[in-house]
Structure 1
Amino acid sequence: MATRRLRQLQPILQRCTQRPFFPQPAQSELIQVTPKVSLFTDKVHIKVQGLPSKAKVTLHAMTEHEWRRKPAQFVSCSHYVASHSGEVDLQKDASVGGTYTGVEPMGLFWSMQPCPSGPQNIRMVVKNVDRPVLYKLSVYMGHLPLSDLHIKNTQHEPLSALEVERVVMPSNARRIPVREGTVRGTLFLPPGDGPFPGVIDMFGLAGGLMEIRAALLAANGFAAFALPFFGYDDLPKTFTEQTFDYFEDAATWFASHPSIHPEGVGLIAISGGAAVGLMMAWHCPQIRAFVRINGPGFHGFMNLHRKGMLLKKGVGLDMDKCPVTEEGQVMKDGWIFPEEDIIPLWERDVHMLTLISDDDGQYHPHVGDMHKKLYPEDRCHLIEVVHYPGAGHLLEPLYTPHCRTCYNPFFGQDLLWGGYVKEHAIAQEDSWQRILNFMNKYLPSSS
């Protein structure tokens, strides 16, 4: 697999420019990152050499993004003590402070947080998947907290700095905008002629088009369709205006695409998108494998219509049980639903992987267990439930920084997603591999 990824990334290595995105000091050779260009979900090996013996140093990482159309920086740091030979190796040496501690080879990536001098309570969203995500790694003498490195008028000169590229979509994959009837989105195809195992990918009630997971699925050999359902292009402005006809049309179009293996497709959905995804898995015959990420076992609180008729009534949401805390609103105890509102997916031969974060502020973790208990004994092989202690609602591809709370445009306020940094990182690493294994197991393989 490593050899195949190196072949996929070779065109990007060849086109890397000489001009860095970040200004770099002369001693960039002190920091070594292998490989310097890598897939977003791949591990890298970080070493610092040429330091004074037993020197105390701070490693720092920074990446620049946008949040609600404004610039935003995400940063991290770790504290190390160099060896007698003046080396720090993140694969074997433990961080003794900073945004993470212990032996964590990828800690500088997963422990990132909003820059102390910038906006807080924001989420790192990779929007331009055809461009690498750029990180600046720096090393400083002494053990410095993030606040010291990012307070204005405080000067700390790095000993060395290096730019690292993390690729979301390899250049030999294909990104195809989709406008088919009313269906909108982006199709990602791996290299080759196919047909490929196909996966529909949906996010939640933040709306818009989110492409990162679909692009990474294509990097792993799947044809993936990033499917928005409101707040994008000419789609309805809000989810309440969308009908189930749209999702049926999307499943029909995607499953019949000549690049997709004809024996059924998979579906991945998170949060409010998972509520609709559950309805798709129940009603759309093309779906044969479904990954539900922190979503309910029922349809959400909005009525869903098909062909002008009510298809499914939304469950109740008691706002008196949805307190607004200092960190954001918590809705997990507000859902009102009897057992008959649970979608009987066991009626179809659809395999479902349910991923549950136990510190989710929006859906109670017992909902997934309740769903599994309703499966008849002879159908229990169709459902798998995995719990992640200490993880929050927004389970995303591994090494994406944890977001505990941020603004949600659908609800018009901050929502408490929950979770803790390290526990969430562990959950994202495990869940990403589970998703890939699950889809490889239950979808037809490439020709």
Structure 2
Amino acid sequence: MLSNQHLDMPHLGDLGLSMATFLPGISATVWINGCNANTLVPIYYKDICVPPLMFDIKRAKMTPLGLVDIGDVMNDPMSEEGLPSIIPIERASGNFMFIMSEADRNWQSAYYAKLACDRLKAHGKNNYELVRYEKAGHFIEVPYMPFCLANFHAAANQVVYFGGEPKAHSEAQLDTWKRMVNFFKKHLAAADDNFKSML
């Protein structure tokens, strides 16, 4: 997927959520600090088009460190103009693990995760779990990856502030990895009980 030249990194969360929603055979999805709405470009599947959630770059601000904070630039998916961009995840047959960082300044991932869970619950679904990290930033990576306070953001075309505190963020990465492994073991059970992970 990453080798596709038409796919850029900032779009992976909502693309993954869309795949879990529309494509058959996806039984487990881990969604880390994503958006419950489609962003950047329209997503097409058969006769369905999910338009992108729009943004207002004028809401960006400068941090005391001189970094650009884009955490509030996206329009609210629950606004009248944002509703068509919400991914109808209640259509998914698989299970979800929503991981969200409350100190994420890439965007409002805590709010988006809550909206996703509320939507599933409103449709009578209980195929999800929500994991919350109070002081972690946007990039929850594999364990022992360095904390990323800011980096170049392809969609913003500049270096942006991702939020979080180093110690809490690193602890969140360790915890996330354990939780993801257990989640996938539970929902991607192999037919052969002797199957061992190659990771």
Normalised TM-score (structure 1): 0.39
Instruction: Tell whether the 8 Å contact from 2:26 to 2:93 is kept in structure 1 after alignment.
Output: no
Q: In the TM superposition, what is the alpha-carbon distance from 1:317 to its structure 2 partner?
A: 0.6
From 274, 284, 293, the equivalent of 2:23 is 284
From 324, 346, 363, the equivalent of 2:107 is 363
Please tell me the residue identity of whatever aligns with 1:348. A
Instruction: Tell whether the 8 Å contact from 1:405 to 1:417 is kept in structure 2 after alignment.
Output: yes
SS class of match (1:379): coil
Please tell me the residue identity of whatever aligns with 1:381. N
Instruction: Tell whether the 8 Å contact from 1:327 to 1:415 is kept in structure 2 after alignment.
Output: no
Are residues 1:302 and 2:76 paired? no
CA distance in 1, matches of 2:98, 2:55: 22
Identity, % of aligned pairs?
24
Are residues 1:320 and 2:58 paired? yes
Q: In the TM superposition, what is the alpha-carbon distance from 1:272 to its structure 2 partner?
A: 2.9
CA distance in 2, matches of 1:311, 1:229: 24
Q: In the TM superposition, what is the alpha-carbon distance from 1:271 to its structure 2 partner?
A: 5.5
SS class of match (2:41): coil
From 119, 122, 126, the equivalent of 1:381 is 126
Matches within 5 A, 1:105-124: none
Q: Which has the higher helix share?
A: 2
Are residues 1:352 and 2:126 paired? no
CA distance in 1, matches of 2:139, 2:10: 8
Instruction: Tell whether the 8 Å contact from 2:90 to 2:123 is kept in structure 1 after alignment.
Output: no
Matches within 5 A, 1:72-221: none
What's the CA shift string for 1:79-129, capped at 9, x where partnerless? xxxxxxxxxxxxxxxxxxxxxxxxxxxxxxxxxxxxxxxxxxxxxxxxxxx
CA distance in 2, matches of 1:288, 1:379: 18
Instruction: Tell whether the 8 Å contact from 1:407 to 1:414 is kept in structure 2 after alignment.
Output: yes
Gaps of 5+ in 2: 193-199
What's the CA shift string for 1:362-420, capped at 9, x where partnerless? 12111111221122457342111111011010101111111101123443210111111
Structure number with greater CO (CA < 8 Å, separation at least 6) is 2
Normalised TM-score (structure 2): 0.83
CA distance in 2, matches of 1:329, 1:317: 15
Instruction: Tell whether the 8 Å contact from 1:271 to 1:296 is kept in structure 2 after alignment.
Output: no
Q: Number of paired residues?
A: 185
Q: In the TM superposition, what is the alpha-carbon distance from 1:306 to its structure 2 partner?
A: 5.0
What's the CA shift string for 1:224-282, capped at 9, x where partnerless? xxx3054xxxx34x64xxxxxxxxxxxxxxxxxxxxxxxxxxxxxx8631110011011
CA distance in 1, matches of 2:60, 2:86: 21
CA distance in 2, matches of 1:349, 1:304: 19
Gaps of 5+ in 1: 1-226, 240-269
CA distance in 1, matches of 2:125, 2:10: 23
What's the CA shift string for 1:28-63, capped at 9, x where partnerless? xxxxxxxxxxxxxxxxxxxxxxxxxxxxxxxxxxxx
Q: Which has the higher strand share?
A: 1
Please tell me the residue identity of whatever aligns with 2:60. C
CA distance in 2, matches of 1:274, 1:410: 14
CA distance in 1, matches of 2:152, 2:123: 43
SS class of match (1:429): helix
CA distance in 1, matches of 2:142, 2:189: 23
Instruction: Tell whether the 8 Å contact from 1:327 to 1:416 is kept in structure 2 after alignment.
Output: no
Are residues 1:427 and 2:172 paired? yes
SS class of match (1:317): coil
Query: Who is 1:11 aligned against?
Result: none
Are residues 1:311 and 2:49 paired? yes
Q: In the TM superposition, what is the alpha-carbon distance from 1:342 to its structure 2 partner?
A: 2.5
Instruction: Tell whether the 8 Å contact from 1:291 to 1:435 is kept in structure 2 after alignment.
Output: yes
